[in-house]
Amino acid sequence: GSSCVRLVERHRSAWCFGFLVLGYLLYLVFGAVVFSSVELPYEDLLRQELRKLKRRFLEEHECLSEQQLEQFLGRVLEASNYGVSVLSNASGNWNWDFTSALFFASTVLSTTGYGHTVPLSDGGKAFCIIYSVIGIPFTLLFLTAVVQRITVHVTRRPVLYFHIRWGFSKQVVAIVHAVLLGFVTVSCFFFIPAAVFSVLEDDWNFLESFYFCFISLSTIGLGDYVPGEGYNQKFRELYKIGITCYLLLGLIAMLVVLETFCELHELKKFRKMFYVKKDKDEDQVHIIEHDQLSFSSITDQAAGMKEDQKQNEPFVATQSSACVDGPANH
C-alpha cells in the first residue's frame, strides 16, 4: 500500500493529466448525446414537412418534373451558401460593399467566421488564405498587447491598491474583483447588446439575441444568426460598422476577464496539477553549469585585472623582484 501511494505521488502530474483527457472526452460524448437527443426530433419534423411541401408542389404543377425541381433547388441552395438569395423579400444590398467586406475581414481575423458570406472567385479565396496567414498572428499580437495594458490598469493596480491601502487579503480581493469584473462584462457585452439586437432585428427575440452575442464573442461563429441581413435594414452601413466595433471590443473584454481569472492563485495552483514538473536533476545541472560559468568568468576577470596591474606598474614589479633576489644571493 505504501509503495502504491509513493508511486501515485511520484507520477501525480501524469495521473491528473490522464484524468483530464478522460474528462474532456467524456464531456465531448456528453455534448454529442444531448445535442442529438434535443435536435434530432426537430430535424425529423423539418424533413417530413419539406417532403410534404415538395410533393404538394409537384401535384399542383404537373408540367414540372421532379428532376427539374431538384436541379433548380440545388442551384438556389448553392447560391444561398454564398450569401445570395433569389427571394423577393431578401436583402437587396450587396454582400461585398465596403462595410460588408469590413465586417467579413473582422470575422476572419478574429476567427469567428460566420460563414454567411464567403469568397466567390479563386482570387478571393487565395487572397483570403494569404490575408489570414498574416492577419491572424497579427491579431493575436495586437490583442495580447491591448489586453496586457488593460489588465495592468483594470486588474492588477486595483487589487494591489485595496491590498496595500486597506489591508485586505490579496487573494480575497482578487476573487471579489474577478467576480465583479465578470458581472460588469456580462452586463455590458451580453445582456444590454442582446436587448438592443432584439429591438433592431425584427425576427430575433431576447434569447436569440443573447445566443448571437455569446456565439460571436466566444469566436464560435455558427452563422445561423447574423445581424444586418434583414429586408430593408435601415442604416445598414452604419449598423455593420457598429457591429464590427462591438465584436472587437467585446472580444478584448472577454480576454481581459479570462486573464483576470487566470491570474487567481487558486486557478494557478489548479493548473499546475496538469503540467509536467521539471526534474530535480535537470535543475541541479542547470545550477551547476550556471555556477561554473559564473566562477570561470570571475577567475578570468581577476586574472585579467592582475595582468593589467602588472603592465601598469613595471617599475614596482622590477624593484620588488630585485630586492628579493639580493638577499637570496647573499
What CATH number should be reported for the domain holding residue 246?
1.10.287.70
What letters, b where the CB count within 10 A reaches 16 and e where it falls short, cover 54-74? eeeeeeeeeeeeeeeeeeeee
Burial of 142 (0-12, 13-18, 19+ CB in 10 A): middle
Instruction: Say whether both 270 and 154 belong to one domain.
Output: yes
For the chain, give the mean pLDDT: 80
pLDDT of residue 210: 96
- Distance, CA of 294 to CA of 283 (rounded, Å): 16
Q: Tell me if 57 is assigned to some domain.
A: yes
pLDDT at residue 66 greater than cutoff 90 = no
Instruction: Say whether both 60 and 196 belong to one domain.
Output: no
pLDDT of residue 314: 43
Least confident of 7-21, 238-252, 285-299: 285-299
pLDDT level of residue 293 (50, 70, 90 thresholds): very low
pLDDT level of residue 231 (50, 70, 90 thresholds): low
Tell me the mean pLDDT in the region 194-214: 93
Instruction: Say whether both 123 and 25 belong to one domain.
Output: no
pLDDT of residue 167: 85
pLDDT of residue 55: 87
- Decide: 225 and 293 in contact? Cβ < 8 Å: no
Cell of 254: 472577454
Dihedral class, residue 296 (left if φ above 0, else alpha if ψ from -120 to 50, else beta): alpha
Q: Tell me if 298 is assigned to some domain.
A: no
Instruction: Say whether both 79 and 221 belong to one domain.
Output: no
Cell of 145: 498587447
pLDDT of residue 205: 93
Cell of 59: 401535384
Domain boundary among 86, 121, 136: 86
pLDDT of residue 203: 85
Higher pLDDT residue, 184 or 223?
A: 184
Cell of 232: 430593408
What is the domain count for the chain? 2
Instruction: Say whether both 58 and 1 belong to one domain.
Output: yes
Higher pLDDT residue, 219 or 77?
A: 219
Instruction: Say whether both 36 and 128 belong to one domain.
Output: no
Q: Tell me if 315 is assigned to some domain.
A: no
Tell me the mean pLDDT in the region 115-131: 87
Domain boundary among 53, 86, 119: 86
Nearest residue to 254 (alpha-carbon basis) of 209, 222, 219, 227: 219
Owner of C-alpha cell 602588472 = 310
pLDDT of residue 91: 52
Least confident of 74-88, 94-108, 209-223, 265-279: 74-88
What letters, b where the CB count within 10 A reaches 16 and e where it falls short, cover 179-196? eebeeebbeebbeebbee
Least confident of 9-13, 69-73, 118-122, 163-167: 9-13
Instruction: Say whether both 158 and 269 belong to one domain.
Output: yes
Instruction: Say whether both 99 and 228 belong to one domain.
Output: yes
Q: Tell me if 316 is assigned to some domain.
A: no
Tell me the mean pLDDT in the region 157-172: 89
Cell of 75: 442551384
Higher pLDDT residue, 100 or 290?
A: 100
Q: Tell me if 132 is assigned to some domain.
A: yes
Cell of 173: 480581493
Burial of 112 (0-12, 13-18, 19+ CB in 10 A): buried
pLDDT at residue 319 greater than cutoff 60 = no
Cell of 56: 404538394
SS3 state at 184: helix
Instruction: Say whether both 5 and 133 belong to one domain.
Output: no
Q: What type of residue is 32?
A: A
Q: Tell me if 219 is assigned to some domain.
A: yes
- Over residues 110-120, the pLDDT tens digits come to 988 887 778 88
Instruction: Say whether both 33 and 57 belong to one domain.
Output: yes
Domain boundary among 86, 114, 140: 86
Question: Which residues, including other chains, have CB under 8 Å from residue 229's CB and lie 6 or more apart?
Answer: 91, 116
pLDDT at residue 153 greater than cutoff 90 = yes
- Distance, CA of 170 to CA of 178 (rounded, Å): 12
Tell me the mean pLDDT in the region 279-307: 50
Q: Tell me if 308 is assigned to some domain.
A: no
Instruction: Say whether both 70 and 138 belong to one domain.
Output: no
Provide the domain limits for residue 52.
1-86
Question: Which residues, including other chains, have CB under 8 Å from residue 171's CB and lie 6 or more apart?
Answer: 264, 265, 266
Q: Tell me if 293 is assigned to some domain.
A: no
Q: What is the pTM of this model?
A: 0.71
Higher pLDDT residue, 273 or 252?
A: 252
Angstrom distances, CA of residue 323 to CA of 5, 307, 312, 326: 74, 21, 20, 5
Instruction: Say whether both 134 and 214 belong to one domain.
Output: yes
Least confident of 5-19, 100-114, 193-207: 5-19
pLDDT of residue 75: 84
Cell of 165: 491601502
SS3 state at 57: helix
DSSP state of 65: -
Helical segments of 235-278, H only:
236-262, 265-272
